[in-house]
Amino acid sequence: MRTGARGGGAPLHLPNLYIVGPPRSGTTSLQRWLAAHPDVGRSELKEPFYHAADLATPHRIADRAEYLALFAALDANRYRVDATPWYLYSREAAASIRTMAPDAHIVVMLRDPAEMLASLHSRHVLVGLESEQDFARAVFTGPAREDPSEFRRSLDYLAVGRIGQQVSRYVAQFPSEQVHFVEVAAMASRPESVHLELLGALGLDPIPLDTYEALNEGRVVRNRAVAWVSATVAGRRRSNRVRRGVAWRMARMASTPGREALSTDVRRRVKAALAGDIRELEEITGRDLSAWLE
């Protein structure tokens, strides 16, 4: 039996299911899996940034009417998804979402921060946002990057890795039954069960997919010269859509699918720097994340 047309009492066409991050943690795949359900809809624009008014990004839709228009065709869906990973790092997004849709459900992805940051660094290098191609130097010896913009804040890798610090804002704003955690490792090893568990937590019929495709997977730089040209085309700050598109095509030429290899020493240093936050996240989620510290 299909569920009703309204999600958690939210008015029609208000987004009421938010995948808030972190980046490089399967948010694109999960959004597509959820939107395959007949009672879930998504807008064509995955990351509208509307609720992140404190992040200075040219991609933010700031007008309320324009934002809601993204979801206007989804009235028949019980849930309407906004999947903006950087909401997790906005100091205003959790409260803003609660003001708009207090019954909204929040989904937070859980990925080993060392792996997540390595993937984020690779993506930054490929699209020209990061000039330092060595991960360890970018993380530990890069310049101070205090800046409110989404672009600059995303280069403060250790700050991005402090997921527990960010999740605490959502736990403070929403009841526990409205905040859901999805482990990325489990998505990879048992995608169907993770998908169906989340549908059940949302009160939706457990309809599996025929196939579970992983989207927007990581890529590793193989040709640093082409990557450097890509960075030059895109510019160190985010540029217009055409230049970014050209840079991304060049970046694909300079890379292959895969993960950035981390040495044992670099992995140990990242985990040590984030150990306190990982323990805080364990307390918040009630999950055993000790593998992230090993």
Q: Which portions of the chain are predicted below pLDDT 70?
A: 1-12, 142-152, 216-255, 257-259
- Give pLDDT, residue 244: 61
17-112+155-216+273-293 has which fold? Rossmann fold (3.40.50)
Cβ neighbours of residue 128 under 8 Å, at least 6 residues apart?
230, 231, 232, 233, 234, 235, 236, 247, 251
pLDDT in tens, 225-271: 666 666 566 554 444 556 666 666 666 666 676 667 789 999 999 99
The domain spans of the chain are 17-112+155-216+273-293
- Which residues sit opposite 179 in a β-bridge? 106
11, 191, 173, 13: which is closest to 88 by C-alpha? 173
Using the Cα atoms of residue 59, residue 60, residue 64 and residue 69 in order, give the sign of their dihedral. positive
The predicted structure's pLDDT at residue 59: 83
Please tell me the predicted confidence (pLDDT) of residue 7.
45
| Entry pTM | 0.85
